[in-house]
Amino acid sequence: MAFTDTVGEIFYGGDYNPDQWSEEIWQEDMRLMKAAGVNMVSIGMWAWAHIQPKEDVWNWTFMDKIMNMFAEHGIYVDLATPTAAQPNWLSKKYPEILPVMADGMRMSYGSRQTFCPTSEKLLGFNAEITRRIVERYKDHPTLAAWHIGNEYSHLVILCHCESCESIFRTWLKAKYKNLDGVNEAWGTVFWSNTYGEWDEIISPKITAHQNNPCHLLDYKRFTSDAYLASFQNEADICREITPDIPITTNYLYEFNNLDYFKWSQQIDFVAVSSFPDTKPGEHIGKPPFSHAKMRGLKRGEPFVILEQAANNVNWRDANNNKKPGIMRLWSYQGLAHGSDGLCFFQWRASLKGAEKFHSAMLPHAGADTRIHKEIKQLGAELPKIKEIIGSRVHSKIAILFDYESWWALDNKPGTTTFLEYNNQVQKFFLALHEMNIPCDIVFATDPELSFKDYDILIAPAMYIIQPGVANKIKAFVKKGGSFLTNFSSGMVDETEAVFEGGYPGPLRDLLGFWVEEFESILEGVDNSVKLSNKLGGKKESYPATIWADILRLETAKSIGKWTKDFYKGKTCLTENKFGKGKAYYIGTDLGVEFNKTILAKLCKDHKIKPLLKTPKNVEAAVRTKGKKEWLFVMNHNFKATKVTLPKAGLIDIITGKKMSKIITLKALDTVILKEKIKKTKKK
C-alpha cells in the first residue's frame, strides 16, 4: 500500500494548530481549506500541554472536535505525537529530562524541543501520551498518517547529561565489547587519554584542546541512534495498534545531525521540511540536491515535502519574500524531483509566539492576499496532475553519500576548515543539474548498496571508506562503470584511523596512484590546473581552491597538472583503466564549471544525454511510472523564455493544452508534459 493511498491525491495542506484559535475560526478554516484544495493537515505536534495540562488531567475535547470536523469536511489528518515540546509542568517536576550542553550547563525550558533523547522519565511520558492518542484515534476515518515528534535533534545537537553518558557507555560496550576495543579504536594512547574504567568515559565536552576525533564521531553515531530509539519508542506503539497507518517524521532540509539513511529504514515514508534560501542568485539546483537525497533515503521511493514556506520564514537574519510565482515554481520543482506532497508550515499565521512573523498559507491579512491566492491556484492545479503519484525519477548516475564522512569532516580533523563535505558533493550534483542530467544519491552505509543501475558513480570527499564499499566500487568499475572521486577521499577507515601507505588507501589500485603530500590552498593564493587535453570542454586550465594533492602515479595516466608552486608540473588529475571501466581523480576543487566538463565527458562515454537542452535557468526533469513518462519543464527566469521541446504535440497536464515544438514559457512557469493519449474510436 502506498502512503498516498488513503488520501488518493497529492498531499496538499499544512501544519495546523487549532489550539491557538477559537471554534469560530475552526469553522472558517474548514471553509477556506476546502476552497484552497487542502486535503491533508498535520495537527497535534505542539498540543501536549492542551491535551495533558497536568500530570493526572487529560483533556480530549478539542482534539475530538477538530478530528471530527476534519472528517466531516473530507480533510485527512497526519496526526502528530506531541512529544517535540513537553509541557512546563513536566520539565519543572523532572528537570533531569532537560538536556545538558557541552559546557556542562543544563538548558532551561521555555521554548520547544528542549529534551534529552535518552531520559527514561521522558520516554515513559512520551510512550504514555502516544498510547492514549493512538488508542483514541486508531479507527478515526480521517487519520491518514502518524507524525512522530518533529524535526528530531534540530535544536539539541548533542546532549551531555549523565543519562546520555551512561547509555553511551552501554552503546560502546555493544560495539567494542571491552575497553581495550574502545582504546584501540579511538587511539587513546595519544595525549595519554587511555581509559582504564568504563565510567571514565564521558561525552566529548568542552575541554582545553581538540577532542579525540573518533570519540566525537562515535558520540554523533550514538546520538543519532539515541534519537532514533526515542522515535521508535513511539513508532512501535503506533505500529502495534495500527499496523496499516503509515508512520513518518519530518526531516530537516540539508541537515546532518542524524543518519537519515539509517532512520529511513524505520519509517514508512520520508517527509522533509524544505526551506531553501530565497537569497537572489541562489543556484536553482540546490533544492533538487536535497530532493535527490530525500528520494534516495528509501532507495528511490517518492517522499513528501511536509513543510515549506508560502512566503518568508522568520529565522534567517533577514527574511525576504518568495516573489510572486516562486512558491508555485518551487512546489513543482519538488514534485519534479520525487515528492508526492506539498504541505506548508503553516495553515494560518499565528498572532502570538515566536513564529508570528513566519508566513503561512493564510496570512495575517486574510484570504484576499497575493499569498493566499497563489495557494488557491496551486491547490486547484494539483488534482489535475495526480496521475504522477507514485512515479519515480530514474538516473544512470549516482553520487555516493556518507553521513559519517560529513560528521567526521565537520569535526575538522586538521586538514582545512574550508572543506565542507556537503558543499563538495553539491558541486558535482549542480554540475549535472545544470546539464539537465538526473542524478541519484545512494548511501555508503546502506547494507544493500549496489551500483547495478548506474553507469557513472561519483564519490566526492569520501573521507571515510566504509567497510566493504571499496570492493563494491571496484566491482562496478571492473564491469565497465566510470568512477569519479576527488581530494580528501580514502584517507581514513570507519574509526578515523589513517590508511598507511598513502591515501587513497583501499582505492589505491583502483585509482592507480598514491598521495605523497597535500596542503590547503590558502585564501588569496593563486594556483591552477592545466589539462593535458580539454576533456571536450572549452578551457585549458581551471583555478584551484581549498586543497592541493601531490600525486605519485602508479598505473594512472596524468590528465592535468599543477601550474605553480613547488609542485608545478606534478599531477593533480588522473584517469586509470581498471577492468572494463575507468576511475578518475581530481586532487583539488576546480569548481562546478570543471565538474561539468569532466562529467560531460563521462556522460558522452556512456551515451548519457541531457533530458532536454534548455536555455539558462530552465530546468527539465522526468518522472516515470511503467511506460508513462512526464517531462517537467520549469522556467526559473523572471522573464518569458523560449524552449524547444523534443517534439510537437505533447500535452501539458496542468492546463490540458497541446504544445508546439517551440514554446514560450512565461516567467517562473512550469509545464508537465506527456504524450497525447490516442482515443480509440467507439465502434
Q: Using the CB atoms, write b or e for 121-148: b if 16+ within 10 Å.
A: ebbebbbebbbebbebbeeeebbbbbbb
23-42 positions binding ligand GLA, by CB under 6 A: none
Q: Is 150 in the site for ligand GLA (CB under 6 A)?
A: yes
Catalytic residue among 151, 301, 434, 619: 151
Q: Is 530 helix (H, G, I), strand (E, B) or coil?
A: strand
Least distance from ligand GLA to the Cβ atom of residue 307, Å:
4
Among candidate residues 478, 435, 432, the one with its CA nearest the CA of residue 458: 432
Among candidate residues 202, 182, 262, the one with its CA nearest the CA of residue 227: 262
Helices 286-297 and 326-336 cross at an angle (nearest 10°) of: 40
Least distance from ligand GLA to the Cβ atom of residue 114, Å:
14
306 vs 382, beta carbon nearer ligand GLA: 306
Least distance from ligand GLA to the Cβ atom of residue 315, Å:
6
117 vs 438, beta carbon nearer ligand GLA: 117
Number of residues that bind ligand GLA (CB under 6 A): 10
Could you tell me the CA-to-CA distances from 33 to 142, 325, 351, 356 in Å, in that order? 15, 20, 19, 20
Least distance from ligand GLA to the Cβ atom of residue 345, Å:
4
Q: Is 151 in the site for ligand GLA (CB under 6 A)?
A: yes
Q: Is 387 helix (H, G, I), strand (E, B) or coil?
A: helix
Binding pattern for the stretch 347-386 against ligand GLA, x by CB under 6 A and - elsewhere: --------x--x----------------------------
What would the 3-class secondary structure string for 337-370 be? CCEEEEEECCCECCCCCCCCCCCCCECCCCCCCH
Catalytic residue among 307, 374, 381, 404: 307
375 vs 408, beta carbon nearer ligand GLA: 375
Q: Closest residue to ligand GLA, Cβ-based?
A: 273
What would the 3-class secondary structure string for 91-158 be? HHHCHHHCCECCCCCECCCCCCCCCCCCCHHHHHHHHHHHHHHHHHHCCCCCEEEEECCCCCCCCCCC
Could you tell me the CA-to-CA distances from 421 to 20, 219, 404, 469 in Å, in that order? 41, 19, 10, 18
111 vs 170, beta carbon nearer ligand GLA: 111
Least distance from ligand GLA to the Cβ atom of residue 15, Å:
6
Q: Is 509 in the site for ligand GLA (CB under 6 A)?
A: no
A 10 A CB-CB count for 341 gives 26
20 vs 242, beta carbon nearer ligand GLA: 20
Q: Is 429 in the site for ligand GLA (CB under 6 A)?
A: no
279 vs 538, beta carbon nearer ligand GLA: 279
Considering all CA atoms of the chain, what is the largest pairwise distance in Å, rounded to the nearest integer? Answer: 89
17 vs 264, beta carbon nearer ligand GLA: 17
Element (H, E) at 223: helix 213-241
DSSP designation for 521: E
17 vs 416, beta carbon nearer ligand GLA: 17
Binding pattern for the stretch 288-317 against ligand GLA, x by CB under 6 A and - elsewhere: -------------------x-----x----
541-580 positions binding ligand GLA, by CB under 6 A: none
17 vs 486, beta carbon nearer ligand GLA: 17
Among candidate residues 24, 32, 78, the one with its CA nearest the CA of residue 362: 32
Q: Is 76 helix (H, G, I), strand (E, B) or coil?
A: strand
Structural contact between residues 485 and 458, judged by C-beta atoms closer than 8 angstroms: yes
159-218 positions binding ligand GLA, by CB under 6 A: none
247 vs 400, beta carbon nearer ligand GLA: 247
Among 48, 219, 227, 275, binds ligand GLA (CB under 6 A): 275
Q: Is 152 in the site for ligand GLA (CB under 6 A)?
A: no
Cell of 639: 522573464
CA distance 409 to 421: 7
Residue 647 contacts by C-beta under 8 Å, 6 or more apart in sequence? 661
CA distance 381 to 397: 32
β-sheet bridge partners, residue 543: 528
Annotated active-site residue 9? The verdict is no
Among 70, 152, 289, 345, binds ligand GLA (CB under 6 A): 345
313 vs 462, beta carbon nearer ligand GLA: 313
Cell of 27: 469553522
Annotated active-site residue 629? The verdict is no
DSSP designation for 192: G
Could you tell me the CA-to-CA distances from 306 to 29, 41, 108, 267 in Å, in that order? 19, 9, 29, 15
Binding pattern for the stretch 239-268 against ligand GLA, x by CB under 6 A and - elsewhere: -----------x------------------
Q: Is 481 helix (H, G, I), strand (E, B) or coil?
A: coil
CA distance 338 to 287: 12
Among 223, 230, 273, 641, binds ligand GLA (CB under 6 A): 273
Least distance from ligand GLA to the Cβ atom of residue 273, Å:
3
β-sheet bridge partners, residue 100: 106
Give residues in contact with ligand GLA (CB under 6 A): 150-151, 250, 273, 275, 307, 313, 345, 355, 358
Catalytic residues: 151, 307
